Amino acid sequence: MALSDEELENKMDAAFNGSSESDLSGPTFLFREGQKDSSGILSFLRRLNPSFFDELVLAGEILSNAKGIQASKTCIASFCSRSELEGTKDSNLKKYILKAGSVVSNLRSKDSKKLEVLIRNFDKYSYAGILMAIVKEFYPADYQSLVDFINTMPAKPVVEEGGCAVACDGSAKDPFDETLVAFQGLPVSCVRESFGHFPGLVHADYSRGQPQGVLRFGTPKEAIEAFTIASEPTFQIEGVHPAVHLLTKEECEAYSVEITAMKLQRKIEGRHRKH
How does pLDDT run across 49-62, given as a tens digit for each residue?
A: 999 999 999 999 99
- Determine the Cα–Cα distance for residues 179 and 177; give it in Å rounded to an integer: 6
Which CATH topology does 180-274 take?
Alpha-Beta Plaits (3.30.70)
Pairwise pLDDT comparison (191 vs 254), residue with the higher score: 191
Ramachandran assignment for 162, one of left (phi > 0), alpha (psi -120 to 50 degrees), beta (any other): left
Identity of the amino acid at 206: Y
pLDDT of residue 61: 92
Task: Please report, to the nearest 10 degrees, the dihedral formed by the alpha carbons of residues 230, 233, 239, 243 taken in order.
Answer: 50
* 166 close to 72: Cβ distance less than 8 angstroms: yes
> CA nearest 132: which of 46, 37, 44?
37
Pairwise pLDDT comparison (274 vs 192), residue with the higher score: 192
- Determine the Cα–Cα distance for residues 165 and 254; give it in Å rounded to an integer: 17
- Determine the Cα–Cα distance for residues 140 and 134; give it in Å rounded to an integer: 9
The whole-number average pLDDT for the span 231-243 is 88
Cite the residue boundaries of each domain of the chain with CATH code 3.30.70.330. 180-274
Question: Chain-centre distance of CA 153, in angstroms?
Answer: 16
Pairwise pLDDT comparison (25 vs 118), residue with the higher score: 118
pLDDT of residue 114: 87
pLDDT in tens, 121-133: 887 777 888 888 8
Question: Whole-angstrom distance between the N-terminal and C-terminal Cα of the chain?
Answer: 69
Sign of the torsion formed by the C-alpha atoms of 58, 65, 254 and 194: positive
Q: Write the CB contacts of 104 (distance below 8 Å, at least 6 apart in sequence).
A: 56, 57, 60, 135, 139, 142
Sign of the torsion formed by the C-alpha atoms of 171, 254, 181 and 77: negative
Q: Is the pLDDT of residue 239 over 60?
A: yes
Name the helix (H) or strand (E) containing 212.
strand 212-217
Partners of residue 61 on adjacent β-strands: none
Q: Write the CB contacts of 143 (distance below 8 Å, at least 6 apart in sequence).
A: 135, 136
Helix (H), strand (E) counts: the chain: 10, 4
pLDDT of residue 273: 58
DSSP class of residue 240? Answer: B
Q: Is the pLDDT of residue 251 over 50?
A: yes
pTM: 0.49
